Amino acid sequence: MGVNKYRVYCNDESVFVEGYSDSVPTTCFNNNTHIIDNTQTTVVETIETGVRIIQNQPSTNVDKYFLITMTDYVEPNEVKELVTTFKIDMNLFRVIMHSNKANIGDTYDTFLNKNTLVAGVTQADTDTNVIHISDTTHTNTGLFVSFNQTDQYRILSSTTDTITIDGTVTVTTDDKVYVTYYMVKDKYVMRSGTEEFGTAIIGSYKIPAGYTGGITYRNSSTIRKVVHMELETTFA
């Protein structure tokens, strides 16, 4: 008889738990007194036929689930940011955006540590895409950089003292260098309902305590909108 690795949702712990069984589980792998939601049970992996499980050992270090929610009104033609600060180290599972018909046509970004000051410009240049800066430790390829906290350019590459961006700018030695990590950039709302991001890298993104995360929502119409975003996280 074959053995499967199952993923079950534990109602008592409010978290998904994985474990091995030679039959469809009816209780949580962490505690057999806990009730599971049978409608969310899935097979993650199938082990070779003929192997039977003698005993499932409960985990001694189970992360706890926590759902962060951000809700607010956005006035007509307003750009609004909703921001939260992570007080402890957390694992980000996914970003969930809820929309209704009124939101169609608007755009939004989701981000971590928006406009974090990381360096200064060391050489004045005109209409250039190579900028000399004092420190490239935090200017990783793929992040977005700004020199005025408004115009954003993607970092294409960096050396020990320069970064190359996907546009041209004019900078002076008085300018500061700000970096933002966008998880979603310029997302256009095409339909009502729920959109999820990050499910392909579930549990792999670690957010240190002190980081900030949020959404920039752009209301493109003349009516008031409601914005509701959720961040699924776990913590030790």
Cβ-based neighbours of 182, under 8 Å, separated by 6 or more: 109, 110, 111, 144
Task: State whether 213 and 159 are in the same domain.
Answer: no
Task: State whether 123 and 228 are in the same domain.
Answer: no
Task: State whether 34 and 135 are in the same domain.
Answer: no
Lookup result for tokens 């310029």: 186
Cβ-based neighbours of 108, under 8 Å, separated by 6 or more: 97, 184, 187, 189, 215, 216, 217, 218, 227
Of 124 and 46, the one with more pLDDT = 124
Task: State whether 26 and 137 are in the same domain.
Answer: no
Task: State whether 69 and 55 are in the same domain.
Answer: no
Residue 51: band (very low, low, confident or very high) from pLDDT cuts 50, 70, 90: very low
Task: State whether 90 and 201 are in the same domain.
Answer: yes
Average pLDDT, the chain: 87
What DSSP letter does each residue of 114-140 carry, written as one string?
A: EEEEEEEB-S-EEEEEEEEBS--TT--
CA atoms within 13 A on the CB side of 175: 21
- Predicted confidence at residue 54, as pLDDT, reads 44
Query: What are 99-141's pLDDT values in tens digits?
Result: 999 999 999 999 999 999 999 999 999 999 999 999 999 999 9
Residue 84: band (very low, low, confident or very high) from pLDDT cuts 50, 70, 90: very high
Task: State whether 97 and 199 are in the same domain.
Answer: yes
Task: State whether 102 and 160 are in the same domain.
Answer: no
Q: Facing residues of 42 across strands?
A: 7
- Predicted confidence at residue 3, as pLDDT, reads 66
Task: State whether 102 and 119 are in the same domain.
Answer: no
CB 90 within 8 Å of CB 204: no
Task: State whether 135 and 171 are in the same domain.
Answer: yes
Domains identified in the chain, total number: 3
Residue 50 has pLDDT above 60, yes or no: no
Tell me the CATH number at 227: 2.60.120
**Phi first, then psi: what are they for 102, rounded to 5°?**
-65, -25
Look at residues 110, 82, 136 and name the one whose alpha carbon lies nearest to residue 145. 136
Tell me the CATH number at 121: 2.40.30
- For residue 120 the two structure tokens come to 């200064």
Task: State whether 17 and 134 are in the same domain.
Answer: no
Task: State whether 199 and 92 are in the same domain.
Answer: yes
- Predicted confidence at residue 235, as pLDDT, reads 87
Of 52 and 215, the one with more pLDDT = 215
Mean pLDDT for 62-68 is 84
Domain span including residue 44: 3-59
Question: How many whole angstroms separate alpha carbon 40 and alpha carbon 7?
Answer: 8
For the whole prediction, is pTM greater than 0.75?
no
